[in-house]
Amino acid sequence: MLAVFAKTIANPPEELSFPIMGSNNSNTPKEILEKFQSLWPNDSAIYNLPHGNFMALSHHDETPIHPRSIVVVDDIFCIFVGTLENTAELRHYYGLQRQATEAMIVIEAYKVLRDRAPYPPDQVVKELHGKFAFIIFDVKTNTLFLARDREGSVEFQWGVASDGSLVCGDDPKIIREGCGKCCAPFPPGCIFINGSGLTSFDHPLNKVKGIVQEDDDGNMKSVYFQVDLFTRIPSIPRSGSAANWADPVESVKGEQMFDI
């Protein structure tokens, strides 16, 4: 899977695009898409979204353990990779038919959360048991929602293109080649919402920090995201589902970025 969202829409974490000494060989979104299509010309589907955003999917090298799918419901696009272990329970909870796929379940969970849920997003994702990563984009509200399971069972990377767009997908090579040094693994056990930032399932009230690693010459070589357990974000009383998207949140330490 591959998805690119304009900087004004995605509002990616600034840690992904920290100033780098020398040239960062990142590509434009168009060049990244052309690379994706060149790798699988007969096995890729491209979904063009407003403002130059797009989502793409290929079933190349797909495994039964981590299948890929894309679903569009009510102008909500969802790419889902992996499997859920509690699909029957979730279908019943959200009132879905037995034929509902994991991507459909995730979209319904998002719709309930967006429209009427009285609890924050991390609580919803905690109810998803399995090995997964997903990308949701709501065209009507320009909401971007990313998530990866707690164990990081499914490959999921994110980075920044040359124009500041957020790039995310499950192919590390495409992300590295497209984003240069401005990329990192998406931290396991986390969600990212463009309106409220990066959030941990388990520590939603601690500040998220992007940790930059440097080589002996002071050049950035990698970055990872980590919860600052000593810094808590003040909680502000809220009411209504609309406020849930701005909940103060945090993130757990993720994998390190590929050394450059």
Enter the DSSP assignment of 30. H
C-beta separation of 7 from 52 below 8 A: no
CATH numeric code, 2-232 = 3.60.20.10
pTM: 0.85
Please give the distance of CA 251 from its chain centroid, rounded to a whole number. 13
Condensed to tens digits (0 to 9), the pLDDT of residues 16-52 reads: 887 554 456 789 999 999 999 998 888 889 999 988 8
3-state SS, one letter per residue, for 50-96: HHHCEEEECCCCCCCCCCEEEEEECCEEEEEEEEECCHHHHHHHHCC
Condensed to tens digits (0 to 9), the pLDDT of residues 56-84 reads: 999 988 888 889 999 999 999 999 999 99
